[in-house]
Amino acid sequence: MMLKSKTDSPMSIKLMYQISKLACFLTIIFASIISLTLLTGAFSIDLPVTSYLNSETSTVEAVLRNQRMTNEDTYSNNKKDQVLNLKEKIYYKHAILKQLTPVKKTIIVISSLYILYALTLCVFYFKKFMKKINDGHYFNRDTIKNIRHISYLLFSVWLIKLLSSTLLNFISFDLIHMNPMSEFHIANNFPSMAILLSAMIFWILSHVFLHGVRLEEENELTI
Amino acid sequence: MMILVNLDVMLAKRKMSLTELSEKVGITIANLSILKNNKAKAIRFSTLESICTVLECQPGDIIEFKI
Q: Compute CA A194 distance to the chain's CA centroid, rounded to the nearest angstrom.
A: 12
Mean pLDDT of A29-54: 71
* Confidence band of A130 (pLDDT split at 50, 70, 90): very high
Instruction: Answer yes or no: do A223 and B34 touch at CB < 8 A.
Output: yes
Contact B40 A2 (CB under 8 A): no
Of B31, B39, B41, the CB nearest to A2: B31
The stretch B23-49 carries a mean pLDDT of 88
Reported confidence tier of residue A4, pLDDT bands at 50, 70, 90: very low
Selected residue with higher pLDDT from A109 and A44: A109
| Stretch (H or E) spanning A19 | helix A11-43
Do the interacting molecules here have an ipTM over 0.90? no
Q: Does A217 touch chain B (CB under 8 A)?
A: yes
Q: What is the pLDDT of residue A218?
A: 86
Contact A222 B35 (CB under 8 A): no
Amino acid A58: pLDDT: 62
Stretch B21-41: mean pLDDT:
88
DSSP states along A172-210: H--STT--HHHHHHHHHTSPPHHHHHHHHHHHHHHHHHH
Reported as type and span, the H/E element at residue A144 is: helix A141-172
Reduce the DSSP state of residue A219 to 3 states and report it: helix
Distance from CA of B42 to the nearest CA of A (A): 5
Does A221 contact B39 at a Cβ distance shorter than 8 Å?
A: yes
Give CA separation, A176 vs A7, A172, B37, in Å.
69, 11, 79
Q: Which long-range contacts does A44-52 make (Cβ < 8 Å, 24+ apart)?
A: A50/A97
pLDDT for residue B16 is more than 50: yes
pLDDT at A109 over 90: no
Residue A89 has pLDDT above 70, yes or no: no
Per the model's pLDDT, the better-predicted residue between A209 and A176 turns out to be A209
Is a pLDDT exceeding 90 seen at residue A38? no
Q: What are the Cα distances from residue B49, in Å, to B8, B54, B55?
A: 17, 9, 10
Phi, psi at residue A191, to the nearest 5°? -60, 145
Q: Which residue has the higher pLDDT, A68 or B27?
A: B27
Task: Give residue A124's pLDDT.
Answer: 94
Q: Report pLDDT for A64.
A: 63
Burial class, A144, CB count within 10 angstroms (exposed 0-12 / middle 13-18 / buried 19+): buried
> CA of A218: how far to CAs of A3, A123, B41, B52, B66, in Å?
11, 32, 6, 23, 22
Question: How many contacts (CB atoms, under 8 Å) link A and B?
Answer: 28
The shortest C-alpha distance from A19 to chain B (Å) reads: 39
Determine what percent of chain A is predicted with pLDDT higher than 90.
Answer: 36
Mean pLDDT for all residues in chain A = 77
Identity of the residue numbered A113: L
pLDDT at A79: 61
Q: Determine the Cα–Cα distance for residues A215 and A213; give it in Å rounded to an integer.
A: 5
Which pLDDT value is given to residue A9?
80
pTM of the model: 0.66
- The more confident residue out of A123 and A173 is A123
* Residues contacting residue A215 through CB under 8 Å, at least 6 positions apart: A139
pLDDT per position as a tens digit, A162-177: 888 878 777 766 555 5
Q: Is the pLDDT of residue A1 over 50?
A: no
The three-state secondary structure class of A33 is helix
Evaluate whether A87 touches A67 at the Cβ level (below 8 Å): yes
What is the Cα–Cα distance from A1 to A219, expressed in whole angstroms? 7
For A169-203, b/e burial (b = at least 16 CB within 10 A) is eeebeeeeeeeeeeeeeeeeeebeeebbebbeebb
